[in-house]
Amino acid sequence: MMSAKNAAHFSRVGFVASLRSRGLKAAAAAAAGTALALALPASAWGHATLEHTVPTEQGRVTEAPNLLRLDFDQSVTSLASSIQVYTAGGRVVSRPARTDNAGHDVVATLDKRLPAGAYTVRWHVVSGDGHVISGVFTFGVRVAAPPPTQAYGASGPTTTEHVVRWAYFVALALLLGGIGCRLIVVRGPLPQRAENRFYVLTGIGAIATIEVGIAAFLLRAEDALQLPFVRLLYGDLQPIANGTRFGTAFVAMTLGFALVSGLLFLAWLTDRQLLLWPALVLGLGFASGLSLSGHSAADAGSSWKSELADWVHLSAATLWIGGLVQLAVVVLPLAPDLRRAAFLRFSTMATVLVALVLAAGTYLSILRLPHLHDLWTTHYGHVLLVKLGLVAVALAWGGLHRVLAVPAVERGADGLFAHLPRSVLGESLAGMAVLLAAAVLVDSKPPPQTAKTPAQIQAKR
């Protein structure tokens, strides 16, 4: 007969297998639902879809148009105010709108001889199902059109967007820093409780990365369209998703981190730590979307060097801060046999990561601040000073660990581990405060670069 001990063992194994089987089915159902939602065309829901515009979205025309036309895939109802065309200064240059082509087109006459410049088009029509469909796009007359996120009426980043971006950075740290710590610092098997907590923390980071990313996109779209959330649900987000660096990065990163989440889930489901390596590599790769869509890619003086430096800065910071969380919450309290070796390994890794953070951050600061006095005379400089102050606190905290705790641990002072987790957690919280300052800094506009004179350019050559 089977012993009680063996029966209990097989009972636990069966429970875990059942739990993982249900999790797999739930994940498959969610994936199928997402794929179905993406596959269904907009017309399946009955809402009108904007198919073409004249002038084209974010188009540049050499001659001023005298008519603006919106072409929909089905008949719509327009109002006199359905099309509003604004100059960069906010002056309306369009006449009352009217329908054409059996209700499929909405047109508005424009003022004669529009001067060169950027123009914003804000529109709204009533779809056949009764919903109000709205949108915004830009075009330029003999100049490049700005992205929709810089359209007239957009207020720019808000405090809510700062908080959401900070939450995104923290989610990246929990995900990428957690996986990095597990692979590079811990390496070997973990006790079951520690392993479970590792997957809980990284799972929270994976889900939050996707969900917070969606929230960030919706907030940016809400600001560009200047619509309440209920009307935003029926807004035309295509110009923002496809016509801006931010939108393109959002789409790529959302799909990319969904793949990373799948690899993380499979690693937990199959107990195969090897699957965490592609999850880490892909996660770090898709995190570059932030660098390819931010100041380092769009501002004057940007180049592949600034984009690379920004990615190194972000990646090193997330690995450092997320690794601290794993060390403080998972390894030190739940893996007593591994904590000495893990703490010493992390100390070595953190030294390299902090060096990368400082080197890349210094390069970017010099690039974005043309003059030293910009530190105390511009908003961007003020935020940077706050960030530098918080970095100093985090580095001082880590320096104390390096100078005092590491030698003690090397000597075998195991009594230190009773207080070390709280201290390491404090350092990670200081790092998260740095991420908050970084979130505000990302949404701040650096001071303009001084244009070089022909003589300066010739002298440089």
Task: Mean pLDDT check: name the lowest of 27-36, 203-212, 274-283.
Answer: 27-36
Per-residue model confidence (pLDDT) at position 129: 74
Is CATH 1.10.3720.10 the classification given to domain 50-147? no
Neighbours of 126 (CB within 10 A): 15
Mean pLDDT, range 11-33, rounded to an integer: 45
Task: Mean pLDDT check: name the lowest of 132-136, 197-201, 410-414.
Answer: 410-414
Q: Is the pLDDT of residue 2 over 70?
A: no
Taking the CA atoms of 355, 179, 206 and 171 in sequence, report the sign of the dihedral they define: negative
Cα 174 from Cα 167, distance rounded (Å): 10
Per-residue model confidence (pLDDT) at position 173: 96
Per-residue model confidence (pLDDT) at position 46: 57
Place 226 in a pLDDT band, splitting at 50, 70 and 90: confident
Phi and psi at residue 74, in whole multiples of 5°? -150, 170
Structure tokens belonging to residue 351: 């030294």
Q: Is the pLDDT of residue 238 over 90?
A: no
Per-residue model confidence (pLDDT) at position 211: 93
Per-residue model confidence (pLDDT) at position 449: 65
Per-residue model confidence (pLDDT) at position 110: 95
Per-residue model confidence (pLDDT) at position 252: 92
Higher pLDDT, 6 or 49: 49
Cα 223 from Cα 156, distance rounded (Å): 7
Task: Mean pLDDT check: name the lowest of 21-25, 249-253, 367-371.
Answer: 21-25
pLDDT digits (tens, 9 = 90+) for 141-165: 999 998 888 889 887 777 888 899 9
Mean pLDDT, range 8-19, rounded to an integer: 44
Q: Is the pLDDT of residue 454 over 60?
A: no
Place 292 in a pLDDT band, splitting at 50, 70 and 90: confident
pLDDT digits (tens, 9 = 90+) for 354-405: 999 999 999 998 888 888 888 888 888 888 899 999 999 998 988 888 888 8
Nearest-CA neighbor of 328 among 232, 459, 432? 432
Spatial CB neighbours of 383, under 8 Å, sequence gap ≥ 6? 437, 440, 441, 444
215: Cα within 13 Å, side-chain hemisphere = 15
Per-residue model confidence (pLDDT) at position 452: 46
Q: Is the pLDDT of residue 35 over 80?
A: no
Please check whether residue 152 is in contact with residue 86, taking contact to mean a CB–CB distance below 8 angstroms.
yes
Place 48 in a pLDDT band, splitting at 50, 70 and 90: confident
Per-residue model confidence (pLDDT) at position 450: 57
The whole-model pTM stands at 0.80
Most confident of 3-17, 233-247, 255-269: 255-269
pLDDT digits (tens, 9 = 90+) for 80-128: 899 999 999 999 999 999 999 998 999 999 998 899 999 999 999 988 8
End-to-end CA distance of the chain: 89
CA distances from 68 to 39, 107, 117, 134 (A): 31, 6, 16, 16
Pairing of strands 67-72, 50-54: antiparallel
Phi and psi at residue 420, in whole multiples of 5°? -65, -40
Q: Is the pLDDT of residue 412 over 80?
A: no
Cα 343 from Cα 148, distance rounded (Å): 48
Beta bridge partners of 120: 86, 138
Please check whether residue 94 is in contact with residue 69, taking contact to mean a CB–CB distance below 8 angstroms.
no
Per-residue model confidence (pLDDT) at position 370: 80
Per-residue model confidence (pLDDT) at position 411: 80
Neighbours of 227 (CB within 10 A): 20
Cα 37 from Cα 42, distance rounded (Å): 10
Task: Mean pLDDT check: name the lowest of 142-151, 225-234, 312-321.
Answer: 225-234
The answer to whether the bond into 157 is cis (omega within 30° of 0) is no
Nearest-CA neighbor of 140 among 80, 84, 60, 205? 60
Q: Is 402 exposed, middle or buried (0-12, 13-18, 19+ CB in 10 A)?
A: middle
Mean pLDDT, range 312-339, rounded to an integer: 94
Domain boundaries, the chain: 50-147, 159-442
Spatial CB neighbours of 317, under 8 Å, sequence gap ≥ 6? 169, 173, 353, 357, 431, 434, 435, 438
> Average per-residue pLDDT in the chain?
84
Per-residue model confidence (pLDDT) at position 367: 87
Cα 58 from Cα 158, distance rounded (Å): 24
Per-residue model confidence (pLDDT) at position 317: 95
Q: Which amino acid is at 107?
A: V
